[in-house]
Amino acid sequence: MAELPQFAKSKFIQVNEIDLNDPASVDDPHMTEVPTITTFDRNVSAAALIAELDSNGCAIVEHHVDDARMRQLHAELQPYLDAAPLGRTEFAGRTSRRRNGLLAKSEASCELAIDPLMLAVCDGVLGPHCVNYRLHVTMLVELMPGEVRQEIHRDGEVYPIRHPAPPMTLAAFWAYTEFTEENGATLVAPGSHRWPQERKPEAHELVQAVMPKGSLLLYTSSVWHGSEANRSESVRTGMGLHYSLGWLRQEENQVLSSPPEVARHFPERLQRLIGYDFGGPYLGFVEQGNPIGLLRDGDDGDFARTEPALNAQRETIELIPFGKVSGDG
């Protein structure tokens, strides 16, 4: 997520999907239970992960990707990462390197972006509040030895929404290398997706997402998290393939990162996921038609700016009620 100091002055829109007076919906400030990140094996069901994300805001799936796929990913992406400059801000890490636009650089990352388990989880977490969800951002983050702890943050801070709120985004952070306590495994505050806007985690509420290479860390947009310091002699690299509600602006401009001449070679599911599709009825049309037509020779579309199936699906989604949208407070 980009550094956003101007948000300190923003007025937040309160969404009322989570009842702050319901003990089941928010944390108990008197709880002393040690927080944990539940770890699942690669055979976990999407239903189990959806339930865990609802209750705890985060989860780990160990060894979800095999060694062969990880070797392919490394071969395709490491040259780009090796050529990347060091970060220029404290948030990005001054001894860290980052790369985005991964889909145009790596066939393996394209396959992981449409991983069946991941999309099934998105269906359950993001699907209730949108007709189509989107690939939000692609990034490779390498923490070099000596990198300091990142500022703890919520990914939902890119939107002026007061927390707690329904998931705006779903992070899928893949362990490109092993994540250990020493090399900067991501810090996460389990359960913080239900905390009020003003509450920030204390030290004892943060847990490191220690996991083997090829594993997957999931967390929703209201969860506090950040990279821990790298106190080891080796790099720690994670690959983010994050998703968002289809009616929100994506953090990374996917259509510019993968323009038509590049995206034309992607699987259709990925084409639609990055933005070559309606975001909902009447959202994102091009010349009155579906932007998927840009990738199909001679497809002029139906000039309807929507599709019957989208209109029908729009009637089934859970509406997010907004509270006060103007004035103070």
> The tokens 């927390």 sit on which residue?
163
pTM: 0.88
Tokens linked to 36: 């944990």
Residue numbers of the domain that contains 99: 5-261
CA 329 to chain centre: 29
Any domain includes 145:
yes
Are 12 and 31 in contact by the 8 Å Cβ rule? The answer is no
> The tokens 């395709």 sit on which residue?
76
Any domain includes 57:
yes
- CA-CA distance, 15 to 161, in Å (whole number)? 7
Alpha helices, DSSP H, located in the chain: 46-56, 67-82, 107-113, 116-125, 254-257, 260-263, 268-274, 308-314
DSSP annotation of 322 reads: B
- CA-CA distance, 286 to 281, in Å (whole number)? 13
Any domain includes 301:
no
Any domain includes 117:
yes
| E-only strand ranges, the chain | 13-14, 39-40, 58-61, 96-100, 133-143, 161-162, 169-175, 187-188, 207-208, 216-220, 225-226, 236-245
Any domain includes 291:
no
Task: Report the residue count for the chain.
Answer: 329
Any domain includes 212:
yes
- CA-CA distance, 291 to 268, in Å (whole number)? 12
* Preceding amide of 164 cis, omega within 30: yes
Any domain includes 293:
no
Any domain includes 272:
no
- CA-CA distance, 316 to 296, in Å (whole number)? 30
Distances (CA, A) of 280 to 32, 256, 311: 43, 20, 8
If one counts the domains in the chain, the total is 1
DSSP annotation of 67 reads: H
Tens of pLDDT, residue by residue, the chain (329 residues)? 544 444 344 455 666 554 444 544 454 553 557 799 999 999 999 999 999 999 999 999 999 999 999 999 999 999 999 999 998 888 888 999 999 999 999 999 999 999 999 999 999 999 999 999 999 999 999 999 999 999 999 999 999 999 999 999 999 999 999 999 999 999 999 999 999 999 999 999 999 999 999 999 999 999 999 999 999 999 999 999 999 999 999 999 999 999 999 999 999 999 999 999 998 888 898 888 889 988 987 665 566 778 888 888 888 888 887 765 555 54
What CATH number should be reported for the domain holding residue 26?
2.60.120.620
